[in-house]
A and B are shown apart, each in its own frame.
Chain A
Amino acid sequence: MAKQSSQEIFTLGVWSDNPVFRQLIGICSALAVTNSLTNSMIMGIGLTFVTALSSFTISAIRQFTPKHIRMMVQVLIIAAYVIMVDIFLKAYLPEFSKTLGAYVGLIITNCIIMGRAEAFAQKNRPIASFLDGVANGIGYTVVLLFIAFFRELMGFGTLFGFQILGDWWTSWTIMIMPPSAFFLLAIVIWITHNIQDKKKSEVAKQ
């Protein structure tokens, strides 16, 4: 792989190779926590932290890791960082730790982290891997926040817990229930695929 500039890494991670709507990985938690903006924000920050640091660590020790046990090593590194996030949340934000519940632990099995470790951190230098982790984390967070914005606004009439819409607004209960998460993610995929296809065909014309 040719060496990429940090700017390229960012556009790839956040937009053109976005983990959620382009590669469709790591959506388990993307769907589960998006009924409130605050939860999505915490989840996004947690995931960005874990992805960035585990990519960095995996990349730093990549020359000393035997090929056939690297999966195990990667899982252990990821799990160690997830435990840090979990303990931090329990200590400083106990309420959110309770609402997010098992989903913090499930960051371990989030395919984004494993995917970046395999696809990028194995072949690149630690600093680049760190940036790549941050970029993918941001890409994930942006999609999460986008979905959560609509779900929270239409489901509760609030944003980040503050009342935005007045009494005239009838809350759409469906928005806080699971199906809406699937529909909204499908819509996000639809819109972004259309935009990206259009760009591609324009490039092809020129």
Chain B
Amino acid sequence: MIELNPMVIFIAAIFTNNMILSNFLGMCSFVAVSKEINTSLGLGQAVTFVLAATSIINYLVYHYILVPYNLEFLRFIIFIISIAAFVQLIEMIMEKYIPNLYYALGIFLPLITVNCAILGVSLFMIIREYSFLQSFAFAVGSGIGWTMAIVALAGIRQRLKRATVPKGLEGPGITLIVTGLMAMAFIGFSGIVQIQ
């Protein structure tokens, strides 16, 4: 594996290897929560934060606990537990010390546990054999890319409310078509940087 500059990975994770638009991760909440710009921005921030933190935890756990004991096959279970535990912990800390943010993000926090983007980033960084800094850059970049995509989609959907849409396409159908168009636009970024 060629040593990649963490900065390159960071940019690539936002534009060319966007979590939603080229890896299809985090689609469930992407379609469900993207109705308003404010809420999707809140969710995006929460996802970015959890991604950054869990990538550190999972990296350390994987390389310093699982690998020395030859327990790599347990990684799915360990990762999902550490993500769930971390989300729970954050919820409790935030409720106590920063209640404003807690109530703003409230409902989204528990949802993040089952967001495939989080587990996906942890798995990708293991499969692609990233170093610690690379993993961190990848996680933060993915989070920002995810936020950008969901906020953009929310903006488009707010406009879309006034448009007439064929009956069967209403709701999820048209959302997917819009996402497809966004994905096409993002193909334009490919070639700037390359990872994988």
B 28-39 binary contact with A (CB < 8 Å = 1; else 0): 100100000000
Report the bound CA distance from A105 to B167 in whole Å: 36
Report the bound CA distance from A190 to B170 in whole Å: 8
* B116 A106 Cβ-Cβ under 8 A: yes
Instruction: Provide the residues of chain A in CB contact with B97, threshold 8 Å.
Output: none
Report the bound CA distance from A171 to B23 in whole Å: 22
Whether, in the assembled complex, A57 has its beta carbon less than 8 Å from a beta carbon of chain B, the answer is no
Instruction: Provide the residues of chain A in CB contact with B172, threshold 8 Å.
Output: 24, 189
- Counted as pairs of residues, one from A and one from B, with CB atoms less than 8 Å apart, the total is 118
Interface segment among A39-47, A78-86, A119-127, A151-159: the answer is: A78-86
A 185-204 binary contact with B (CB < 8 Å = 1; else 0): 11001110110010000000
* A197 B168 Cβ-Cβ under 8 A: yes
Interface size on A, residues (CB 8 A): 42
Q: Please, which residue of chain B has its CB at the minimum distance from the CB of A107?
A: B76
B 48-88 binary contact with A (CB < 8 Å = 1; else 0): 00000000000000000000000001111100110010000
* B120 A102 Cβ-Cβ under 8 A: yes
Instruction: Provide the residues of chain B in CB contact with A36, threshold 8 Å.
Output: none
A 71-115 binary contact with B (CB < 8 Å = 1; else 0): 010011001101100110000000000000110011011110010
Interface segment among B6-14, B134-142, B173-181: the answer is: B173-181
* A83 B25 Cβ-Cβ under 8 A: no
Instruction: Provide the residues of chain B in CB contact with A179, threshold 8 Å.
Output: 180-181, 183-184, 187
Interface segment among A10-18, A26-34, A138-146: the answer is: A26-34
* B76 A102 Cβ-Cβ under 8 A: no
Q: How far is the CB of A18 from chain B (nearest CB, A)?
A: 12
Q: How far is the CB of A29 from chain B (nearest CB, A)?
A: 7
Whether, in the assembled complex, A181 has its beta carbon less than 8 Å from a beta carbon of chain B, the answer is yes
* A25 B28 Cβ-Cβ under 8 A: yes
Q: Please, which residue of chain B has its CB at the minimum distance from the CB of A78?
A: B80
Report the bound CA distance from A180 to B184 in whole Å: 9
Q: Choose among A105, A108, A111, A178 the residue that contacts B183 (Cβ–Cβ < 8 A).
A: A178
* A177 B168 Cβ-Cβ under 8 A: no
Please tell me the size bucket of the interface on B.
35 or more
- Beyond A114-B114, A183-B176, is A106–B27 a contact (Cβ under 8 Å)? no
Whether, in the assembled complex, A172 has its beta carbon less than 8 Å from a beta carbon of chain B, the answer is no
Whether, in the assembled complex, B151 has its beta carbon less than 8 Å from a beta carbon of chain A, the answer is no
Report the bound CA distance from A24 to B120 in whole Å: 19
Tell me which residues from 155 to 180 in chain B have a Cβ below 8 Å from any Cβ of chain A: 166-169, 172-174, 176-177, 179-180
Q: Please, which residue of chain B has its CB at the minimum distance from the CB of A34?
A: B24
* A182 B179 Cβ-Cβ under 8 A: yes
Report the bound CA distance from A102 to B26 in whole Å: 14
Whether, in the assembled complex, B123 has its beta carbon less than 8 Å from a beta carbon of chain A, the answer is yes
Tell me which residues from 26 to 68 in chain A have a Cβ below 8 Å from any Cβ of chain B: 26-29, 31-32
* B27 A31 Cβ-Cβ under 8 A: yes
Q: How far is the CB of A198 from chain B (nearest CB, A)?
A: 10
* A185 B116 Cβ-Cβ under 8 A: no
* B180 A79 Cβ-Cβ under 8 A: no
* B173 A193 Cβ-Cβ under 8 A: yes
Seen from chain B, the residues whose Cβ lies within 8 Å of a Cβ on chain A are: 21-28, 31, 73-77, 80-81, 84, 114-116, 118-120, 123-124, 127, 166-169, 172-174, 176-177, 179-181, 183-184, 187
Counting from the closest, the 10 A-B pairs by CB-CB distance are: A182-B180, A102-B123, A186-B176, A193-B168, A194-B168, A31-B24, A179-B183, A109-B116, A79-B77, A32-B24
Q: List 19 A-B contacts (CB under 8 A).
A: A28-B116, A29-B116, A32-B25, A75-B84, A79-B80, A80-B77, A105-B75, A105-B76, A105-B123, A109-B115, A110-B116, A111-B28, A111-B114, A174-B184, A178-B187, A179-B180, A182-B177, A189-B169, A190-B166
